[in-house]
Amino acid sequence: MKLAIKALCALAAVAAMSGAQVAAQEPVKIGMITTLSTAGGYLGEDVRDGFQLAIEEGNGELGGIPVDLLVEDDGLSPEQARQIATRMVESEGIRLMTGTIFSNVAMALVPRLMRDGVMFVSPNAGPSQLAGRMCHENYFNVAWQNDNLHEAMGQYVSDQGYDNVYILAPNYPAGRDALEGFKRYYTGELAGETYTQLGQSDFAAEISSIRAAEPDAVFFFLPGGMGVNFTRQYNQAGLSDRFPLFGPAFSFDNTLVSAVGSAAEGVYNTSQWSADIDNAANRAFVAAYTERYGRQPTLYASQGYDAARLIGSALATVEGDISDMDAFREALRRADFDSVRGNFRFGTNHHPIQDIYVREVVRNEDGELTNRIVARVFGDHQDAFVDECPMR
């Protein structure tokens, strides 16, 4: 009888162990809600492709843990994003999400997900509210706080002696953050300040205002196709040689400079990433992305890739068990991965502390337009809203 009992106990232990192994092999579901349609759709495509590349390099795993990436298009609609998130949480049981591109979508989506106990890693949108008074322990941003690249340009144009700059951006959270960020470090006077409609394609009125103001330079933040249209129309109006253009990398990534053409050559832009950052992780990423997709990566692709590698580092630490949210959160906070941008760590508000560069649009040896780093504007730069965040 004793031997029989021992045998049964042993069989139960083996069965329990086998069950645990099966459970451990279940993929961790990651929900990606991003913008794949509208004029800004290529931004989400690049984030998705960068993220997916990291998974493919791990043969379907991140940090040695199998993952299942579920991708949905928010159509740049806050309401559509909320509906997708509800379905993912309630029907799919997803507790880890990423992907948001636009700040108006993030502001509609992230607070709700925080109430639902979901962990969210933003690969792009970084509105000031989520870095400051609305920060949350389960929200991480792997890209930037919206103001950061614009702050760097405000500093750079001041350093270059421009003191009468005209500024413009769309009237939505990221646009307002952009101009506030620029003004935070810019020391000169403003020749004008204009807010456009989000998605606007005709800039005749704005260009007329710039011509009348006669600034010594123009700074703009117009994401996606808006930037293409503005830069082309600005050049066609004959203003490129009179009032030099400055902007963030959002308006001058490789996709956009190819679309803009020669009108983009010589424009300066700020970025926390560039293809010519010389470290092992970035060299490998640029080569792998180019081979996989047949195009050069943009900063959006780099952010999707870094988001995946950050998540992978945390999954490895908790051995795929994200039900222990405290342990998973702490693993994310440590950011124990090799970022393609080099120096990277989180501030207490879970937003990056990182270097920011100014780049120039130039032609490479093959005659193709690309970006080249010309200076580092900030080292270990932290956003301006960290002190408003109650987390310590």
How does pLDDT run across 359-392, given as a tens digit for each residue? 999 998 888 889 999 999 999 999 999 999 999 8
> pLDDT at position 23, please?
46
Give the separation between CA 303 and CA 354, rounded to whole angstroms. 13
- From 106-120, 242-256, 274-288, the region with the lowest mean pLDDT: 242-256
pLDDT band at 258 (very low <50, low <70, confident <90, very high): confident
Residue that has been written with the tokens 């990398």 in this structure: 249
Pick the more confident residue, 241 or 73.
Answer: 73
Nearest residue to 127 (alpha-carbon basis) of 61, 190, 173: 173
Q: pLDDT-derived band of residue 18, with 50, 70 and 90 as boundaries?
A: very low
Q: How confident is the model at residue 7 (pLDDT cuts 50, 70, 90)?
A: very low
Strands 65-73 and 28-34: parallel
Confirm if 251 and 220 have CB atoms less than 8 A apart.
yes
Q: Strands (DSSP E) along the chain, which ranges?
A: 28-34, 61-62, 65-73, 96-98, 119-122, 139-141, 164-170, 189-196, 217-220, 245-248, 268-271, 344-346, 352-363, 369-381
Mean pLDDT confidence for 308-319: 98
Task: Kindly report the length of the chain.
Answer: 392
**pTM reported for the whole predicted model:** 0.90
pLDDT of res. 263: 82
Sign of CA dihedral 366, 369, 375, 381: negative
Q: Are 230 and 263 in contact (CB under 8 A)?
A: no
Are 65 and 319 in contact by the 8 Å Cβ rule? The answer is yes
CA distance 168 to 183: 12
- Among 87-101, 248-262, 364-378, the range scoring the smallest mean pLDDT is 248-262
- Greater confidence, 96 or 172? 96
